[in-house]
Structure formats: structure tokens, C-alpha cells
């Protein structure tokens, strides 16, 4: 793969400005961003307005045909495994009820001839996924996840001002009482008729949350999974009082409408290749749609503009 990687350390205001500084025209920049020739760390990006550091940008002269934001992209591969970028709105694995729809796994099978699931991301979630290319690899990588040898980190936008750090433990049940998954401790523990211990079919789960930044009405948080249960992050943050923006299942109606999709992004994978023993680390900064969403709601409000006008009048 032919690539030009800038090794400078100077922060640049936006990706567009950086590309212009390299001599590309506006038309060339649009074409490069649309076609997946510009990557930020380990993910393609089409958002020229995002703030970047030069050392994070790679310009690839040769790439497979793709539309950024719609199509998956293979980030890394060996004979045994692949790390793949998943855009939001794409199934991780084929669904029986939606047999005609594409999935990330079907994409890998078309491109590489084979692909077996190791873990999953929710359909609305974006980010990095690990895919096995042999049966032996699938067995070893699944075992590595079970033994917590694979580190998975996420970025999420949650409602309210989340504390600096949270450590959340619970036993997840398939039906909390209304057909949705939930924590036994949150929904049943304090009921008079509840048993003293979680049911046998419940699954122990643990989530670490670190707040990265505060914004007007929401927080950007980094989440590390100790276990990887279905909807674990969404459930734990919702039950802690900080539901994800745009979450159609676990957020109140008003918070569901605050973002165009569930604001969850799988941004980091760290693991040891079980065949070569090579330590591997991959990072995909927050997806374009969520970066654009944050930029749009972080813009100065009208009252701030009014204050500027008043200051100008005083100067006159």
C-alpha cells in the first residue's frame, strides 16, 4: 500500500487547511476526502472541517474504490485476522430477517474470500472491528476477548455532565420487565419479591468510564470494557443517569432526538497477535458524523452574538 505520511508535530486548525498547505486545490481535496484517500490515524475521513494534528494524517495515493461514511475499509490484515473500519448504519454480521442487506462480515468475505465474527458492534455504532480469517484464529481471538486480553475502548456522547470517572458493575438480564435488557441490580434488587442473588442466566458486566470533556448539556466520555455484553455501554450509562444521545432504546424520548444516531464509536483496539506475538494497537478518532454533530452544537449561540454587537456599539 503506497502512502505518504506527514511526520510533523504541529497542530493544524482544520484538515482542509492542512491539505491546502500541501498544495492541493479545493476540487482535489473534495475528491480525496470522498474517495477514502485521506486517513486520520486508522480510519478514512471525509470531514475537512475537523481539527487535526499533522502527524495523524495519512494521504494514500492508491486505495480501493469506496465512499467514506458509507463503505467499510480494511485497516490491517494478515493471513489470520483483519481489523476493519465499520461505518454507522451497517450490520456487523448478516441478520436472518434482513438477508438481502450487506454487513461488515459480508464485505470482508467479498474482499478477502473469508471472514468469521469475533465480536460485534451495534448497527448504529461506528468504529473498529476485529475479524478472524481462519477457524483457528476465530477460536483464539474469542478466547482472548473472554480472558480480557483484547482492550476495546469507545467514545460516547452522553446526556448531562458525567463525573470524571465511573466504575459500573452489574448483572445483565435479557428482560428487565419491559422486554429490554437491563441490570438486575437496577430493576429488581430492591423489589420486595426479588431474590437475594441475581438469576443464574444473568451475565456479570463491568464498564469503566472516563470523562474527556464537558459541553453544553452533554459529555464526551471514553469507555473501557472489562466485559463485552450486548448493549452493555448503553445500559450502564443510561442506568447511571447519563444515557447516550440518540439512543433509541435506553434514552428518554427527548434525548433520543438530540443526535442523528446512537452516539457511540469504537475508537481503539489493542491486542497481541496470537500467531506472531506482535503487539498491535489501532485507533480511529471519533467518526465524521459525530465530529460534525459536535461542531454544530458547539457553535456560539445567538446571545453571544448579541453581546458582541453591544461591545461594538460601546466602542463607537
Query: Domains of the chain by range and CATH?
Result: 1-67 (3.10.290.10), 154-262 (3.30.2350.10)
Q: What is the mean pLDDT of the chain?
A: 89
Residue 129 is classified by DSSP as E
pLDDT in tens, 24-40: 999 999 999 999 999 99
Q: Give me the pLDDT at residue 310, please.
A: 45
CB 21 within 8 A of CB 58: no
CB 98 within 8 A of CB 105: no
Name the residue with higher pLDDT: 273 or 314. Answer: 273
Euclidean distance between CA atoms 103 and 254, whole angstroms: 30
User: Model confidence at 62, in pLDDT bands (50, 70, 90)?
Assistant: confident
Which of these ranges, 133-137, 154-158, 182-186, 266-270, has the smallest mean pLDDT?
Answer: 182-186
Q: Give me the pLDDT at residue 194, please.
A: 67
CB 83 within 8 A of CB 104: no
Element (H, E) at 274: none
Q: Give me the pLDDT at residue 7, please.
A: 44
Q: Give me the pLDDT at residue 189, please.
A: 66
Averaged pLDDT for residues 176-202? 83
Q: Give me the pLDDT at residue 190, please.
A: 64
Nearest to 167 by CA among 205, 208, 226, 228: 208
Q: Give me the pLDDT at residue 298, please.
A: 72
Euclidean distance between CA atoms 69 and 127, whole angstroms: 11
Amino acid at each position: 500500500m503506497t502512502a505518504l505520511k506527514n511526520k510533523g508535530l504541529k497542530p493544524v486548525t482544520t484538515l482542509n487547511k492542512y491539505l491546502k498547505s500541501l498544495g492541493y486545490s479545493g476540487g482535489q481535496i473534495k475528491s480525496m476526502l470522498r474517495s477514502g484517500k485521506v486517513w486520520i490515524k486508522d480510519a478514512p475521513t471525509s470531514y475537512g472541517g475537523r481539527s487535526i494534528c499533522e502527524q495523524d494524517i495519512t494521504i494514500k495515493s492508491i486505495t480501493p474504490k469506496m465512499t467514506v461514511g458509507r463503505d467499510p475499509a480494511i485497516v490491517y490484515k494478515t493471513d489470520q485476522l483483519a481489523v476493519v473500519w465499520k461505518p454507522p448504519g451497517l450490520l456487523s454480521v448478516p441478520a436472518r430477517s434482513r438477508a438481502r442487506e450487506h454487513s461488515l462480515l459480508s464485505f470482508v468475505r467479498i474482499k478477502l474470500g473469508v471472514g468469521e465474527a469475533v465480536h460485534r458492534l451495534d448497527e448504529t455504532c461506528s468504529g473498529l472491528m476485529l475479524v478472524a480469517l481462519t477457524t483457528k484464529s476465530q477460536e483464539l481471538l474469542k478466547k482472548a476477548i473472554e480472558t480480557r486480553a483484547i482492550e476495546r475502548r469507545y467514545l460516547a456522547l452522553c446526556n448531562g455532565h458525567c463525573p470524571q470517572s465511573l466504575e459500573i458493575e452489574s448483572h445483565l438480564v435479557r428482560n428487565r420487565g419491559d422486554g429490554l435488557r437491563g441490570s438486575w441490580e437496577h430493576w429488581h434488587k430492591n423489589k420486595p419479591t426479588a431474590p437475594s442473588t441475581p438469576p443464574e442466566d444473568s451475565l456479570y458486566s463491568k464498564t469503566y468510564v472516563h470523562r474527556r470533556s464537558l459541553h453544553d448539556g452533554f459529555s464526551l466520555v471514553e469507555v473501557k470494557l472489562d466485559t463485552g455484553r450486548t448493549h452493555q455501554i448503553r445500559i450502564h450509562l443510561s442506568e447511571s443517569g447519563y444515557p447516550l444521545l440518540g439512543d433509541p432504546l435506553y434514552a428518554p424520548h427527548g434525548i433520543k432526538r438530540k443526535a442523528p444516531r446512537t452516539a457511540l464509536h469504537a475508537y481503539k483496539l489493542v491486542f497481541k497477535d496470537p500467531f506472531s506475538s506482535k503487539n498491535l494497537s489501532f485507533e480511529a478518532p471519533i467518526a465524521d458524523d459525530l465530529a460534525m454533530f459536535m461542531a454544530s452544537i458547539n457553535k456560539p449561540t445567538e446571545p453571544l452574538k448579541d453581546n458582541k454587537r453591544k461591545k461594538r456599539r460601546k466602542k463607537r
